[in-house]
Structure 1
Amino acid sequence: MKRKELDCENCYAKFVEQLNDLRDLIQEGKRRGMDDRTRADIVRSFEKAHDAALETIAAYFRKQGKPPFSGSRDATVEAFHANLIDDGQGWLDMIICRIKYNPLYPGDYLGSLSENIVKKYIDFLEGFERVMEKDLER
């Protein structure tokens, strides 16, 4: 069964919901401490928020009549060129970090990924939120 594509506004609303969940988990982790379970919860929430951001980007360009992207890297580059995100390299680094976290690859990336989420990636997602909010208000 083919999944119905959401419009940009609905994708954005889903993204904001996921981002708020991530913010709550980060605040909870800062309050209680960052044990492995909290880190894993933050990573899962981040993945949902990042996926929702990429869906929002795809819907934004679909609304403009652009063809679908072949992957998250292409969507990220296009979003950078359209000024939807302000740190294209940082967003590409998020994608690479998520790939490295994949259980198919050796190494323990839970600590480094959760640390990057708290210190950097949340800021990238919040910047995207601000830009999209202004754009959708027009």
Structure 2
Amino acid sequence: MKSAAPTCEKCFLDFQEALEELDENIQLGKLHNFEEKYQKKIIRSFEISHELALNTVGEYLKKMGRKADLGPRDTTVEAFNEDLIDDGQAWLDMIIDRIKSDPLYAVDFQRDLTGNIIKKYFRMLMNFERKMKEKMN
């Protein structure tokens, strides 16, 4: 049995739940001086939030009758063109940071990525949430 494709609204709801979890993990991390265990939780919830944001954009584009089967970079460019995100280059930086944090690479990037999430990316995801709410209403 084939499952129904997720709707834009369902993707956005999933994104909002993941963003809330990211916020909770950031708060927990602060309480525990961002120990390695909490950094990993922050990074994991960030990755999920970012992926769900991209899925939401894809479903939004599909809903608008546009091509939606794009990779992360092209989806990001389309999100910028649709005014769903403020800073296209910073969103592309998110993709690069996610690639750098892949465990296949030997570079210890965890602390830097956690800092970027807290200082920049969380705010950018919150702005995306605000803009998506406006577009969906």
* TM-score relative to the length of structure 2: 0.95
Instruction: State the shift of 1:70 in Å.
Output: 3.0
Paired residues of 2:59 and 2:68 also in contact (CA < 8 A): no
1:65 aligned onto 2:95: no
Instruction: Write the distance in 1 (CA, Å) between the matches of 2:115 and 2:13.
Output: 26
Alignment deviations for residues 58-109 of structure 1 (CA, whole Å, 9 cap, x no partner):
0000001112333100000010011000010000000000001111222011
Q: Which amino acid aligns with 2:35?
A: D
Unaligned regions of 5+ residues in structure 2, if any?
A: none
Q: What's the % identity of the aligned pairs?
A: 46
Counterpart in 1 of 2:39? 39
Counterpart in 1 of 2:48? 48
How many residue pairs get aligned? The number is 137
Q: Which amino acid aligns with 1:55?
A: N
Instruction: Write the distance in 1 (CA, Å) between the matches of 2:118 and 2:60.
Output: 27
* TM-score relative to the length of structure 1: 0.94
Alignment deviations for residues 37-65 of structure 1 (CA, whole Å, 9 cap, x no partner):
00000000000100110000000000011
Structure 1 stretches of 4+ moved >4 Å: none
Counterpart in 2 of 1:114? 114
Paired residues of 2:32 and 2:38 also in contact (CA < 8 A): no
Q: Which amino acid aligns with 1:116?
A: N
- More relative contact order, 1 or 2 (CA 8 Å, 6+ apart): 1
Larger deviation, residues 21-30 vs 64-73: 64-73
Counterpart in 1 of 2:94? 94
Q: How does 1:72-87 map to 2 (within 5 A)?
A: 72-87=72-87
Could you say if the C-alpha distance between residues 111 and 83 of structure 1 is closer, same or farther in structure 2, counting changes exceeding 3 Å?
Answer: same
Instruction: Write the distance in 2 (CA, Å) between the matches of 1:2 and 1:95.
Output: 31
Q: Which amino acid aligns with 1:124?
A: M
**3-state secondary structure, aligned to 2:25:** helix
